Amino acid sequence: MLGSVVHFGVQFIQRLRTYFTNGVTVEGQLAKLTLSKDDLIKQMKLITEDMNNGLAADEETRLKSSIAMLVTYVRNTPSGKESGDFLALDLGGTNFRVLLISIEQNHITMDSKVMPMSKDLMTSDAVTLFDYIAECICNFVKEKNVQDKVLPLGFTFSFPVKMLSLTSGVLVKWTKGFTASGVENKDVVVLLKEALLRKKEYMIEIVGLVNDTTGTLMSCAWEDQEVTIGLILGTGTNACYMERLENVAKWTGKIDEPKQVIINTEWGAFGDNGSLDWIRTEYDREVDANSLNPGNQIFEKMISGMYLGEIVRLVCVHLISKGLLFGGLCTEKIAKRENFLTKYVSDIESGQPERINKVLQELGYDEQKAEDVDRLKQICHVMSERAARLASAGLAAIVKKIGRSCCTIAVDGSLFKKHPKFKTYMESTLSELLPGNTIKLMLSEDGSGKGAALVAAVASQQQT
Ligand code: ADP
Ligand code: MG
């Protein structure tokens, strides 16, 4: 009797709560954000379609694809037999670096210098920007006392570039706060060469232009011949892989040995043609609507470091508004856009009480209830796992496409490096989607520096 009264009471309170929350429950919201194996299989099919269309010979088919599938002209991974001294240049954010890299068998030594990249330079013009870069290179070369040697240089330029050959590529569009005039639609290698000539620097030979994804693949491939895919999980997300030329219908060069080339998928844009709409939620739409580039980089916005914290914040704010989290208290801090850093997601996922408390305090919650901490953990878990599963389904599609049952994926980027569980989520998703395959995730150490030097090494060996 007492049992049924209690049961009735509990049911009544639950119904009342559901009434006031318009049917929203924590479990219900999180269920919408949880991807089943079938969802991922559907996603694999869609991204495979886009990859194939992106490689097509005819433009009409290519335009159906949301991903560019850019040909990099990098044809070989390192054999491990490369040797020599190389320069590398890494430009793609607030700092840029010049590196001197000595490759000997089984051993790479690197010496690098980080140079500041001021807002003034970022927003200047082509001559000012590239003269500064050239000057930094010349000073560095003198400092290291290698000015009298002919040095091949690999240039990592992590902006969208349409490659014309391994040593020429046109900047499609500046991103990440760069606006220097006279660079868009220009060949950035020509701009750098001209600047080096203005400095009367004749000993540096630019032998390769790459992006960070290709650099990552190359740097890991030097250590492990099984590496055939490169992945970035940092501010953004992107992947590249070694493809057989016979599958690259849009390849216009000779079909010569080695009959392969690295394809830079630019998969962050997957879904820009609406193909992910069935899986996107109100939170994804809001992140996109508030972004600097609405309608673009849809896949990236569901995964990468620049957005993951913000999605978690939006879920929290929604649940708070329904009285389902923090007793309905929305602090000024959590209410503000981009205030939930992706680093916080890592802190919460770490499970360490001190780190969790610190995050809650930073968000203005001094009083902490176990129930709220549990819910926050659940939210961060579900969102991180969704991101990891989406990226893994993309990788599984690539693995299937290249027909490998055993391969290593080189990964770079702070989201992968610093999130305590991202790698585990990815590993379990990969074995769920590719049972029986042996897929390893390998952390890349400085892909954009070492990788550029290795591209230079492979390219200069190809020339001889
Ligand atoms: P980039 O991609 O620009 O080369 P990073 O690989 O360092 O740079 O990635 C930067 C991104 O990593 C930022 O968007 C940031 O949100 C995210 N990030 C930084 N620290 C952490 C962390 N501790 N856990 C998860 N993500 C992080
Ligand atoms: Mg990076």
Instruction: Answer yes or no: is the C-beta of 234 below 6 A from any ligand 1 atom.
Output: yes
pLDDT tier for residue 92 given thresholds of 50, 70 and 90: confident
Single out the catalytic residue among 176, 186, 259, 369: 176
Label residue 180 left, alpha or beta by phi (over 0 means left) and psi (-120 to 50 means alpha).
Answer: beta
Predicted pLDDT of residue 79:
87
Mind listing the pLDDT tens digit for each residue in 99-115? 999 998 878 999 999 98
Residue whose tokens read 């210098």: 113
Would residue 319 count as lying in a domain? no
pLDDT bracket for residue 5 (50, 70, 90): low
User: Using CA atoms, how far apart are residues 282 and 12, in angstroms rounded to an integer?
Assistant: 29
The SS3 assignment for 207 reads strand
Distance from the CA of 266 to the center of ligand 2, in angstroms?
14
Neighbouring C-beta atoms of residue 80, cutoff 10 Å = 13
Q: Which of 154, 141, 159 is nearest to 89 (CA)?
A: 154
Tell me, using a 6 A CB cutoff, whether residue 268 lines ligand 1. Answer: no
Number of domains in the chain: 1
Residue nearest to atom 21 of ligand 1 (CA): 343
343 is catalytic: no
**Residue 108 belongs to a domain:** yes
Beta bridge partners of 56: none
Closest ligand 1 atom to Cα of 412: 6
Query: Which string of DSSP letters, residue by residue, matches 288-353?
Result: HHTSSSTTS-HHHHHHSHHHHHHHHHHHHHHHHHTT-SGGG---HHHHSTT-S-HHHHHHHHH--H
What pLDDT score was predicted for residue 7? Answer: 58
In terms of residue numbers, what domain contains 134?
74-223+445-457
- For residue 105, give the CATH number of its domain: 3.30.420.40
Lowest-confidence range among 27-36, 88-97, 155-164?
Answer: 88-97
Predicted local distance difference test score (pLDDT) of residue 1: 54
**Tens of pLDDT along 377-431?**
999 999 999 999 999 999 999 999 999 999 999 999 999 999 999 999 999 999 9
pLDDT tens digits for 429-441? 999 999 999 999 9
Asked if residue 130 belongs to a domain, the reply is yes
Whether 217 maps to a domain, the answer reads yes
Please give the full DSSP string across 53-103, using - where no structure is assigned: HHT-SSHHHHHH-SS--EE--------S---EEEEEEEESSSEEEEEEEEE
For the chain, percent of residues with pLDDT exceeding 70: 94
Is pLDDT of 217 > 90? yes
Q: Is 452 inside a domain boundary?
A: yes
Does residue 11 have a pLDDT over 60?
no
Is the CB of 418 within 6 Å of ligand 1? Answer: yes
> From its phi and psi, is residue 186 left (phi > 0), alpha (psi between -120 and 50) or beta?
beta
Please tell me the residue having the least CA distance from ligand 1 atom 6. 413
Q: What separation in Å is there between the alpha carbon of 77 and the centre of ligand 1?
A: 27
In b/e form, how buried is each residue of 251-263, taking b as 16+ CB within 10 angstroms?
Answer: beeeeeeeebbbb
Judge whether 209 lies within some domain.
Answer: yes
Lowest-confidence region among 5-19, 30-44, 82-96, 289-303: 5-19
Is any ligand 1 atom within 6 A of the Cβ of residue 449? no
pLDDT at position 2: 55
Task: Kindly state whether residue 186 falls inside one of the protein's structural domains.
Answer: yes
- Looking at residue 16, its pLDDT comes to 46
User: Average per-residue pLDDT in the chain?
Assistant: 92
Place 308 in a pLDDT band, splitting at 50, 70 and 90.
Answer: very high
Residue 343 CB–ligand 1 contact under 6 Å: yes
The average pLDDT across 356-370 equals 94
**Is the pLDDT assigned to residue 447 strictly greater than 90?**
no
Q: Identify whether the C-beta of residue 226 lies closer than 8 Å to the C-beta of residue 440.
A: yes
Q: Please tell me the chain's helix, strand, coil percentages from 3-state DSSP, rounded to the nearest 5.
A: 50, 20, 35
Strand pairing of 151-157 and 204-210?
A: parallel
Does 94 map to a domain? yes
Catalytic site residue 193?
no
